[in-house]
Amino acid sequence: MGNNPSKAADNIFCRCRKEAAKKNPKLNSREGAAELLGLSVSSLADYELGNTKVVPVDKVALMAELYSAPELCNYYCKQVCPIGEYVPTADVNNIERITLRALLAFQNVEQLQADLLEISADGKIDENEKEQLRGIIKQLNEVANVAQSLKLWSQKYLDE
Residue 3 has pLDDT above 80, yes or no: no
Q: What is the pLDDT of residue 85?
A: 77
Contact 74, 145 (CB under 8 A): no
Average pLDDT rounded to a whole number, residues 57-74: 94
What integer pLDDT is reported at residue 16 of this predicted model?
Answer: 95
Write out the DSSP string of 42-105.
HHHHHHHHT-SSS--HHHHHHHHHHTT-THHHHHIIIIISTTGGGSPP---S-HHHHHHHHHHH
Does residue 47 register a pLDDT over 90? yes
Q: Residue 32 has what pLDDT?
A: 97
Q: What pLDDT band is residue 5 in, cutting at 50, 70 and 90?
A: low
Split at pLDDT 50, 70, 90, the class of 160 is low
pLDDT band at 87 (very low <50, low <70, confident <90, very high): confident
Is 90 exceeded by the pLDDT of residue 155? no
Tell me the angle at which helices 109-120 and 127-157 cross, rounded to the nearest 10 degrees.
Answer: 140
How many contiguous H segments (helices) and E segments (strands) does the chain have?
8, 0
CB-based contact 152:67 (threshold 8 Å): no
How far apart CA 84 and CA 92 sit, in angstroms, is 18
**Interior angle at CA 46, CA 40 and CA 50, nearest 5:** 155
Q: How confident is the model at residue 1 (pLDDT cuts 50, 70, 90)?
A: very low
